[in-house]
Amino acid sequence: MARAKTLFFYLVLVACALASVFPFAFALFTSFKAPSEAFSFGAWPAALTFENYHEVLRTTPLFLRWVLNSLAVAVVTVALLLLLSLMGGFSLARIAFPGRKTLFLILLASMMIPNQVLWIPNYTTLSRLGWVNTYWGLVPGLVATLSTGTFLVAQFLRALPIEIEEAATLDGLSRYGMFWRLIVPLTGPVAATVTITSFMASWNAFAWPLIVLNSPELFTLPVGLNFFKGLYVTRWTLIMAGSMFNTLPVLVVFALFQRHFIKGVATTGLKE
């Protein structure tokens, strides 16, 4: 009975794994197909061709620039967000100040507002600042809409025993010392979670970069990839080849932080 149960669970897991791998595998195979073959039923290309990759790089001189732009924007966004999330989460969880609960509620409420609603007010603010079509406008917009990190860190810290911090205070550690020497090292798992989720959100962001950026030289990869998607005709094989550049960095980041990621999600909000 127990073996049948295990077998059943393994089957379900394998099916789930296949279902998640299939779209990626399909995209990968399509990127090696000739355009006329793009919609044929078989996933495996009839004749393997590297022409799509060649074509992407040849016809789109800006392509590598887009990859680098995406990378720079993602790294800055993640770095800023990590710092803000840890500091914000620490103050909300540990520092008693007037209006803390209200602020936390506002933070929670802001997470429930769809980003689309914020486009026009955010964009108007940026255009008054003269930040349209600059990364000055792009990055804060991305950071501001990813307030989940602060919430995650606050919840994580609430689950940590306060005694450690009390002991540190008795030993004469200042608030900043506490943050850098105690809180930052202790929040490893949740910081990894924030890193992965914000990296993916920034790396894949489409609508906000599209709205803020006007010059093709500044585009990020997801925006640039859309040049292969025409009004009437979409060049799917090229999109798939280009998408591979979009997928691989996320896979790398995920592989690097995976262990912490799972730990972070599993322990957030736990009380001892």
Partner 1 sequence: MVGWVRACGVLAAVIGLALASGCREARRDGKIALRLSGYAGNPAETDLMRELVDDFNASQAQISARYEPVPGQYYPKLLTMLASRTAPDVFYLDILYFQPFIAKRSILLPLDDFLATSSTKASDFIPSLIGAFSDKGKVYGIPKDFNTFGLYYNRESFDRAGLSYPSDQWDLFRFRDVAERLTRNTGPAPRHGFALTPETADRFLPVAAMFGARLYAPDGSCAIASPAGVKAMEYYASLRGSGAAIFPSEVGSSWAGDAFGREQAAMVFEGSWLTPYLAESFPRLGYGISQLPRGPAGRSNFLFTVAYVIPQSARHPEASWKLIEYLTSASAQERITFALPSRKAVSARFVSKHPQYRPILDAAAYAEPYAFGPQGNRVNDRLGLAVQEVLLGVKSPQQALAEAAAAIDRINRL
Q: Which of residues 154-183 bind partner 1 (CB under 8 A)?
A: 180-181
Of 208, 250, 206, 197, the C-alpha closest to 225 is 206
- CA-atom Rg of the chain in angstroms: 23
Binding residue for partner 1, selected from 28, 57, 62, 80, defined by CB under 8 A: 80
Identify the residue whose tokens are 């061709």: 49
Burial of 159 (0-12, 13-18, 19+ CB in 10 A): middle
Instruction: Based on the shown chain and the rule CB under 8 A, indicate whether residue 214 belongs to the binding site for partner 1.
Output: yes
Q: Assess 226 for contact with partner 1 (CB under 8 A).
A: yes
Interface with partner 1 includes 144 (CB under 8 A)?
Answer: no
223 is a contact residue toward partner 1 (CB under 8 A)? yes
- Quote the CA–CA distance of 150 and 159 in Å, as a whole number: 15
Q: Which of 8, 55, 6 is nearest to 32 (CA)?
A: 55
Q: With CB under 8 A as the contact rule, which of the stretches 7-15, 77-85, 105-113, 242-250 interacts with partner 1? A: 77-85
Q: Which two tokens stand for residue 241?
A: 């080849």
Interacting residues with partner 1 between 25 and 54 (CB under 8 A) = 35-36, 38-41
Q: Which residues bind partner 1 (CB under 8 A)?
A: 35-36, 38-41, 59, 72, 75-76, 78-80, 82-83, 86, 119-120, 123-124, 127, 132-136, 139, 180-181, 184-185, 187-188, 191, 206-207, 210-211, 214-216, 218-219, 223-227, 229-234, 236
